[in-house]
Amino acid sequence: MTPSSLRSAILQLLKISLAGALLGGLLGHIGLGLAGALLLCLVWHLHQLQRLLHWLNSPYKSQVPEARGLWGEVFDSLHHMRRREHEVRKRMQSVINRIQSSTTALSDAVVMIDRDGHLEWWNQAANTLLGLRSPDDAGQHVTNLIRDPRFVDYFELTHHAREGLDIPSHIDPNVQLMFSLTRYGRGERLMVVRDVTRLHNLEQMRKDFVANVSHELRTPLTVIVGYLETLSDNADAINPRWKRALDQMQQQARRMQALLTDLLLLARLENDELGRDEEVIQLAPLLHSIHQDARDVSGERGHQIKLEIQGGALFKGVEAELRSAFSNLVFNAVKYTQDGGQISIRWWEDVHGGHLSVSDNGAGIAPEHLNRLTERFYRVDASRNSSTGGTGLGLAIVKHVMLRHQGYLSIASTPEKGSTFTCHLPEARLIDTV
């Protein structure tokens, strides 16, 4: 409202009042004339107000009411405000439309979940991959719609999870889905679901292939090893020139047998669900027997091997698997530590769970290798290891055994000083002895 229009409005009011008073004066009733003029003004303003209301409630495109003076300005300003607001709204709508049409084109499902776990919005692919129905499922809790316990666990623990969750679809078990959840805003979550069936099938083919080849090679190798043993039992009857070759054949055949056993064990660890072989294990006798085996393996190399056990050492798991994992670490320490070196095996329990560490003062491992040690066939120095006969499967087995027991392996090593390999096992699997 400009000061000039306000001034002219006041002036107009004064003029009308004066005209009313004059007319009243002529008729002998000044007061009545003034009141009549003011009433007329009031009725006119009420009429303009009513026009304004009517216009504001009508559709955006309807004609702006014609008026002059103060009311003309009010109508003009409101008209500009409405036009600006309409343009902003149009721009926002077009941004929303563009985002929606790009997420509709995505083949991955995208779902927005509020801080309490209720579905807020999802794209077209979520309907196909997760069987969501829009808009009926809006506001539903996500775990009411995807009930797989593995998903429920994953959803409730997202603040810990770094990796996605890979499970079969609840709609079609032949479809494998990868879920990943990210937090944003004030505790809301964005869930992206991808169909990884092809990748999963390829991975399964790789596992099956390795398992089948290992299995198929076992029988012929057993026959070869058998004949080699018979031959070396009758060494007198053989030409002495063949003796060395026979020894080497036997040694390599045994190496191949050990390799096949490890590959089969890995395949089983990857494929089988843990469960039926679980039992309560007394770790003390298990660790004492590994300790004794390590001393036997060390033999004349004279390592000093210490064993220390703190806590109840009762644990729920698969004994054969844990034996295999722990012995791998202890035998590695013996294998990769110089003669007479010191090795210490330690079990302890705390609020996080049970821990088994194997430390040595051997050659240690350079930092660039540490991340890759648990890969199959990975060896720090192939030439050195070929003399010690390792295949590089030991730590891969340890890693898988830990995963199956919901634990993990940590490795700390300093070149020239030594290494510590520690298996961390979850508290939930410890059995209370008190």
Ligand X SMILES: Nc1ncnc2c1ncn2[C@@H]1O[C@H](COP(=O)(O)OP(=O)(O)OP(=O)(O)O)[C@@H](O)[C@H]1O
Decide: is 360 part of the binding site for ligand X (CB under 6 A).
yes
Residue of 231, 237, 266 whose CA lies nearest to 250: 231
| Residue of 298, 324, 332, 361 that binds ligand X (CB under 6 A) | 332
| Residue of 380, 409, 423, 430 that binds ligand X (CB under 6 A) | 380
Strands 279-282 and 176-184, how do they pair? unpaired
Tell me the one-letter amino acid at 281: I
Q: For residues 339-363, b (16+ Cβ closer than 10 Å) or e, as one string?
A: eebebbbbbebeeebbbbbbbbbbb
CB 376 within 8 A of CB 337: no
Decide: is 362 part of the binding site for Mg ion (CB under 5 A).
no
Decide: is 336 part of the binding site for ligand X (CB under 6 A).
yes
Q: Which residue is nearest to Mg ion (CB)?
A: 394
**359 φ/ψ angles, rounded to the nearest 5 degrees:** -115, 150
Decide: is 363 part of the binding site for ligand X (CB under 6 A).
yes
Nearer of residues 177 and 266 to Mg ion, judged by Cβ = 266
Decide: is 394 part of the binding site for Mg ion (CB under 5 A).
yes
Question: DSSP code of 242?
Answer: G
Decide: is 390 part of the binding site for ligand X (CB under 6 A).
yes
Decide: is 419 part of the binding site for Mg ion (CB under 5 A).
no
| Residue of 303, 355, 379, 405 that binds ligand X (CB under 6 A) | 379
Which region among 14-22, 173-181, 296-304, 357-365 touches ligand X (by CB under 6 A)?
357-365
CB 307 within 8 A of CB 288: yes
Nearer of residues 379 and 404 to ligand X, judged by Cβ = 379
Q: Footprint of Mg ion on residues 318-347 (CB under 5 A)?
A: 332
| CB contact set of 55 (below 8 Å; sequence gap of 6+) | 62, 64, 65, 75
| Residue of 111, 267, 330, 393 that binds ligand X (CB under 6 A) | 393
Closest distance to ligand X from the beta carbon of 214 (Å): 14
Decide: is 180 part of the binding site for ligand X (CB under 6 A).
no
Decide: is 392 part of the binding site for Mg ion (CB under 5 A).
no
Q: Kindly write out the interface string for residues 114-133 of this chain, putting x where it contacts ligand X by CB under 6 A and - elsewhere.
A: --------------------
Question: Angle at Cα 15 formed by Cα 9 and Cα 19, nearest 5°?
Answer: 145
Closest distance to ligand X from the beta carbon of 189 (Å): 38
| CB contact set of 267 (below 8 Å; sequence gap of 6+) | 207, 210, 211, 214
Reduced 3-state DSSP string for 10-21: HHHHHHHHHHHH
Closest distance to Mg ion from the beta carbon of 378 (Å): 11
Q: Footprint of Mg ion on residues 203-262 (CB under 5 A)?
A: none
Nearer of residues 132 and 397 to Mg ion, judged by Cβ = 397
CB 140 within 8 A of CB 127: no
Residue of 125, 86, 120, 121 whose CA lies nearest to 105: 125
Query: How many chain residues are in contact with Mg ion, going by CB under 5 A?
Result: 2
What torsion do the CA atoms of 141, 145, 148, 152 make, to the nearest 10 degrees? -10
Decide: is 361 part of the binding site for ligand X (CB under 6 A).
no
Dihedral (CA of 231, 235, 239, 243) sign:
positive
- How far apart are the C-alpha atoms of 273 and 13, rounded to whole Å? 92
CB 266 within 8 A of CB 376: yes
Nearer of residues 70 and 266 to ligand X, judged by Cβ = 266
Decide: is 317 part of the binding site for Mg ion (CB under 5 A).
no
- How far apart are the C-alpha atoms of 275 and 154, rounded to whole Å? 20
Closest distance to Mg ion from the beta carbon of 191 (Å): 40
Decide: is 325 part of the binding site for ligand X (CB under 6 A).
no
Which region among 269-277, 281-289, 302-310, 375-383 touches ligand X (by CB under 6 A)?
375-383
Closest distance to Mg ion from the beta carbon of 385 (Å): 9
Helices (H), 28-148: 30-56, 69-105, 124-130, 142-145
Partner from Mg ion, ligand X, none binding residue 180, C-beta < 5-8 Å depending on class: none
Q: Footprint of ligand X on residues 257-276 (CB under 6 A)?
A: 262
Site residues (vs Mg ion, CB under 5 A): 332, 394
Site residues (vs ligand X, CB under 6 A): 262, 328, 332-333, 336, 360, 362-363, 365, 373, 378-380, 385, 390-395, 419
